Structures are given as structure tokens and as C-alpha cells.
Amino acid sequence: MSYETILVEQKGAVTLITLNRPKALNALNSQVLSELIDAFAAYEADASQLCAVITGSGDKAFAAGADIKEMSDKPSAEFYSEDFFAGWTAQIVKTTRKPWIAAVNGFALGGGCELAMMADFIIASENAKFGQPEIKLGVAPGMGGSQRLTRAVGKSKAMDMCLTGRMMDAAEAERSGLVSQVVPADQLLDVAMKSAQAIASMPPLAAMMNKEMVNIAFETTLDTGLVMERRMFQVLTATEDKAEGMAAFVEKRPGVWKGK
């Protein structure tokens, strides 16, 4: 599939996906969603690709939200009958079992903030700004903002952001645990790609199961999560990469992974 609204490049074992509607501050319309669904499916299916990074083109925005112009005349019945926005979680988050990172350059508002929070973690540039300003449009988050933001930063800040529509800068986002680190804007992509390359150099099954385990913490009780964690650990002990990893440690050499 050739893309018009995103760019996809393979850099070694890392897939770099760039939202590419800079004139609209990378607003997320239906075409962006369908192209992202395809790009994430291709990443997931390609055994040579072990981590992905998503970022925005231009220096102003990661994504300034769902495309307001696309939504402005859409009847409510269509939002419901199409289950508008359902594809983001159902066809990207749930189907991408390999790791991916959001590198947030500039505005991540509304759906842009929600897309960043779908990633396994966020690295932000110093000029990043996060917000859920949907209330100012007479609506509310529709792609997970009220749920993922609350889990990430807690009730008080999530309520503050959703009810006032104010933006959170990168320093506040780091203090609040929304992002894993903040870096100078001109280093953002480099840091995100190095982080992705580090993940891509890990045993792939262990990377996928580590991701799955952390995500389970959001979905279940502590007791059930601890049992599932132990089972996954026990499954990993049966892999060839576990034997290789432990042998490599003892022999003081880097491991060579098979993904088996």
C-alpha cells in the first residue's frame, strides 16, 4: 500500500512512522487511521522489524488532534453506527504485540495525545505540549484520553486537563509520569531511535512478553497479574533465547537471538 498521510521507513530493525500532514498539524483523519492500521500490521508481520517509533513531521506538532474539519458536519448517528474511533484501539493497540514508542515533538492534543498514550511509552521534546481540549469543542475524548490519561497521571491532573482543556508542558508531563523522558527538540528523533534500537537488540519474545506483562497490570487484579507474570516468566525459561542469554552472560559475550 502506498501512503499519502504517513511516511514509513525501515532503519535496520526499527520501523519509523511519521505522521505527515504538517499543514494541518498532522491532524488525524480517517485516511491517517487506515494508513496507520496498514503500517502497523506490516510492522507486526515483518520478522525483521523489532521495534517502531511514531512521530510527527514538522517541528510544531506530533498531532493536533482528530481532524475537526472531517468531524464538524458528521451526523451523530454516523459516529455511532460507524463506531467512529474504535479502530484506533481495536486495530492498532490490540493487534500490535511488538513494542512501539511515541516521539512527541510539539503539540499532542486530543486524539494526538491519545495516540501518543497508545504507544508503549512516550519520549517528549522540550517543546512538547499535551492536552485533551475536546471540552472546548463541546465534546469529550473519544480515543481513550479520559481512561489512559487517568491511568497515567492520576485523577486530579486528568480531571484538570479534561475539564479545563489546558495544556501540560513537557516538564509537567515528565513529573506526572506521562512521559519517560524529555530531551532537547533537536535530539528527540535520535534519542527515540536509539531507544528503539536498544529494544530491537533484545530477545524478541522477551520484549513482547515484557510488554504484555506491563499492559496486564492495567487490566487485572494484583493477584491475577502476579500469577500471569510468573507463568510468562516460566514460558520464557523454555526459549532458546533464554539458554543463549544465560550462556552469553556466563561466557562474557553478547547474546545472539533467534526469537525462539
Closest contact distance (angstroms) between CB of 79 and ligand HXC is 7
Q: Is 204 in the site for ligand HXC (CB under 6 A)?
A: no
Exposure string for 70-94, b = 16+ CB within 10 A, e = fewer = ebeeeeeeeeeeeebbebbbebbbe
Q: Is 162 in the site for ligand HXC (CB under 6 A)?
A: no
Residue with Cβ nearer ligand HXC (91 or 210): 91
Residue 77 grid cell:
448517528
Does residue 47 sit in helix, strand or coil? Answer: coil
CB atoms within 10 A of CB 115: 29
| Number of residues counted as binding ligand HXC (CB under 6 A) | 19
Q: In the annotation, is 66 catalytic? A: yes
Q: Is 27 in the site for ligand HXC (CB under 6 A)?
A: yes
Closest contact distance (angstroms) between CB of 19 and ligand HXC is 12
Q: In what order do the strands lie in the sheet with 129-131?
A: 61-63, 107-109, 129-131, 167-169
Closest contact distance (angstroms) between CB of 59 and ligand HXC is 12
Does residue 103 sit in helix, strand or coil? Answer: strand
Catalytic residue among 56, 110, 111, 144: 111
Does residue 260 sit in helix, strand or coil? Answer: coil
Q: In the annotation, is 134 catalytic? A: yes
Q: Is 193 in the site for ligand HXC (CB under 6 A)?
A: no
Q: Is 68 in the site for ligand HXC (CB under 6 A)?
A: yes
Which among 55, 79, 59, 64 is positioned nearest to 25, based on CA atoms? 64
Q: Is 71 in the site for ligand HXC (CB under 6 A)?
A: yes
Q: Which of residues 89-118 bind ligand HXC (CB under 6 A)?
A: 107, 109-111
* Phi-psi domain of 58 (left: phi exceeds 0; alpha: psi -120 through 50; beta: other): left
Q: Is 66 in the site for ligand HXC (CB under 6 A)?
A: yes
Catalytic residues: 66, 111, 114, 134
Residues lying near ligand HXC in the complex (CB under 6 A): 24-25, 27, 64-69, 71, 107, 109-111, 133-134, 137, 139, 142
